[in-house]
Every structure is written in structure tokens, then in C-alpha cells.
Structure 1
Amino acid sequence: MSRKLVLLRHGQSQWNLDNRFTGWVDVDLTDKGRTEAFAAGELMREEGLQFDVAYTSVLLRAIRTLNIALDAMEQQWIPVLKSWRLNERHYGALQGLNKAETTAKHGEEQVTIWRRSYDIPPPPMDESDPGHPRKERRYAEVDYNALPDTESLKTTLDRVMPYWVDRIAPDLKAGKTVLVTAHGNSLRALYKYLNKVPDEEIVKLNIPTGIPLLFELNDDLGVISYRYLGDPEQARLAAEAVANQARKS
């Protein structure tokens, strides 16, 4: 018996459009992002996917994407669980900065290291910054010391994995069909774990917005197969566009 898991990156956000490092900043979808979310739901409906449970982060762009996709599938009734552990990677002091301008200032090699390397985080956010998660009500119940001021992909995976082990994996092992709607880096972390991608190879992976990635897993949650739904060429071009975001204007 195979288990089905779909990873869905949120639709285009306003800061995706503005080419800014977003991280944990709570930015909404653009009109295009809403369209992408609905199209993702249509693709999942056409695939015949019947979800038993959905997971998302506590950030608006992921929650909005999930709700729109569920509307498109007419599966609004399924249980939805939200966790900060599925949040985007925290980009530290880079949050809010324009990616191309940051590249012009620090060089493409350094920005690529901050964006895509496995274990090198950007400079940390100052704890006095009003945008620090320790100052936000939504994280009031989270252990103070667990809230990041910057993250690498490695530390993002470290915080995602307990939620995978405690909540998502048990649902899959119970035979449930699961939808996870989250962010480029929290999903990259799960992709790395599921596909056993080497640390040095994960730098090349880019996940496009709004295109469902369907995994079929065995009883032990090993990967049988995975593919983007819809047109493979569209997914390839969308991933390429993500890779090019930090290049100089």
C-alpha cells in the first residue's frame, strides 16, 4: 500500500514579486499568487487526490494558499493543523532586503551561500528588532530559546523534523493522504530528507510557487516516486525563475 504526500509551496507573495527576502515576515499573496493557489487545487482535484489532513505554517501566505486550494478541491472540511515548525527559513538580518540589491552589495557568491548553502546562515537579526519572533504574539507559547534570529537550511531541517516525526509521519503511516502547504525552504528541507539529497547537492534545488509535488511512499515512508503535477516544463521554468531571483538587475 503506497502513501500519498503532497508538498505545496505557497503562491506568489507580494515580497516574491518585489524580490525581497521574506523569511518569517507575514506577507500576503498577490493576485497571481491566489491564481496559482487555485490552479494548484485544480491540479490536485484532477489527479483525484482525496486528502485526510492538511498541515501548514502559521504564516498568512501559506495559510491563504491552503484555503484557496481546498476551495478549488471542495475539501474545505478536512482537518487543518498549523505549526511554526513549518515556517519559512528565518533569513536573519536579510529579511526585507531586495535580493538583487543585496547581491550588488555583497556579491553573487556570498548571497548564493546565504540563500542556498546547507549550513551557513545569514547574519542574525538583532533581538531588539521589532520584527524578531520573540516579540510576536503568535509565538508566545513557543519556547523562547527555540525561536531563531537566523537559520541555515540545516537548522531549518532541525526544527521541521520533530514535527515530521511526531505529527506528519504517523498520519502517513496510518494510511492517510496528507497535504503540506508551506514555504520554499521548509519544503526543501523535507525534500532533502525524503530523497536523501547530499548536503552539497541541495544548493541546486529550487521549489516553484503553487505547483503541487506529489510523493508516493512505501510503508516505511521511503520514496517510491515523486513528480510535479501538471506540465513538467512549466515546473522546470518556474524553478529556474526561483534560482535567478538573486542575480543582479
Structure 2
Amino acid sequence: MGAPNTPVHRSWRLNERHYGALQGLDKKETTARHGEAQTNLWRRSFDVPPPPVDTSSPEHPLSDPTYQQLVRDGLDPSLLPATECLKDVLERVLPYWNDTIRPRLASGANVLVTAHGNSLRALIMHLEKLSSDEIAEFNVPTGVPRKYEFTNDMTVAKVGYLGDPQAIAAAAEAVARQASK
């Protein structure tokens, strides 16, 4: 981007959703095991999490060296999910929005948020005041910047993707088709 001195802030709160006992399975395998309707319910619903993974499982965040370091650094291990639905992701993302991103924006800074699809969907739901039904149908195109402009009271004044509209639509459609792959 030509800005080598740009500060970079990382947070586990922007990590991808934890799929519990489905962690490590691809969407096609999950659909074959549990059916398309159940897989789509787990993937897209707001408040239906997949079955949890046991804390002793290698798929649990406590088995991940990155999370182990965060716990050693003071993160409460009870915050690490054994499974998550989008509602849980929203509850995880919002403290970072409120404590870190929003104050920087309110001070006039430009902020680029790079995150995973479901953490972005949770943030989009909050910022754009989308219902659980609306966010279930919302597909975040991979790698396409979404630009927000805010009013002085930090409500969204303008939002849109940056790039070619046809390419963006194709990228969003590709995300929508992922469950059948």
C-alpha cells in the first residue's frame, strides 16, 4: 500500500467464527454428514451454533499456540469459544469495535479493518442495523474493501464496496455458492 509506517493492530476478537465440532471439516463434507438444510442453518443463522468441541480437543482454541500465548498474557480462557453462532461472534467483535476501532474513527483517523467473513458479517450487522434475517442472506465478497462514511455521532452515512460492481457481485455469488462445493 506504500505506507510502511502505518500502525497495525491485531486482535483475536476479529478472528473467524469457531465452528465447534465442525471445525476442520469443509462445507461439502459437513453437508454430506448433516444435510444441506442443517449445514446452512449452522452457517447462516444468527443464533444456532454447531455442536461444541470438547476443551481437550485439538480443535479447541486452547490447543492453539496463539491462543495459549494470549491466555498466558492474561486473556480469560473462558472467553475462548467451543462453538459460535453469529450472535456469539457479534458479542466477541463488539468490544473491539467499541474500545479500539470506533474511538480511532471518531478522532478522525482512517481505519482499515481486515478480518474474516463472519467477523465482518457481525460488524456489518451492527453498523448497518441489519436484522438476523437480512444478515443470513448477506454475503461478504472475499477481498473486496467495503467503505463506510460516518456522521459525527458515528452512525453510518454512506456505505459501499470499492471496485467493479460486476466483479463484486460475482465475488459475493461465489461466497453464496460455497455450501454446495
**TM-score scaled by structure 2?**
0.93
Structure 1 counterpart of 2:97, from 155, 164, 171: 164
Which structure shows the higher strand fraction?
Answer: 1
Structure 1 counterpart of 2:58, from 121, 130, 144: 130
Higher mean alpha-carbon deviation, 98-107 vs 231-240, is at 98-107
What's the RMSD between the two structures over aligned residues?
A: 1.1
The answer to whether the aligner puts 1:199 opposite 2:167 as a matched pair is: no
Q: Secondary structure at the match of 1:93?
A: helix
Which structure shows the higher helix fraction?
Answer: 2
Distance across 2 between alignment mates of 1:116 and 1:195 = 17
Instruction: Compute the displacement of 1:221 (Å).
Output: 1.3
Instruction: Compute the displacement of 1:199 (Å).
Output: 1.2
Structure 2 counterpart of 1:87, from 12, 15, 22: 15
Q: Deviations over 1:112-136 (max 9, x none)?
A: 1100000101111121112321133
**TM-score scaled by structure 1?**
0.68
Instruction: Compute the displacement of 1:105 (Å).
Output: 2.3
Aligned 1:25-174 pairs, distance under 5 A: 73-139=1-67, 140=71, 141=73, 142-174=75-107
Moved over 3 A (4+): none
Q: Secondary structure at the match of 1:181?
A: coil
Q: Secondary structure at the match of 2:153?
A: coil
Q: Which residue of 1 aligns with 2:144?
A: 211
Please list every run of 5 or more consecutive structure 1 residues that lacks an aligned counterpart in the other structure: 1-72
Structure 1 residues 96 and 137: CA distance shift in structure 2, 3 A: closer
* One-letter code aligned to 2:54: D
Identity %: 56
* One-letter code aligned to 1:215: Y
Please list every run of 5 or more consecutive structure 2 residues that lacks an aligned counterpart in the other structure: none
* Bigger relative contact order, structure 1 or 2 (CA pairs below 8 A, ≥6 apart): 1
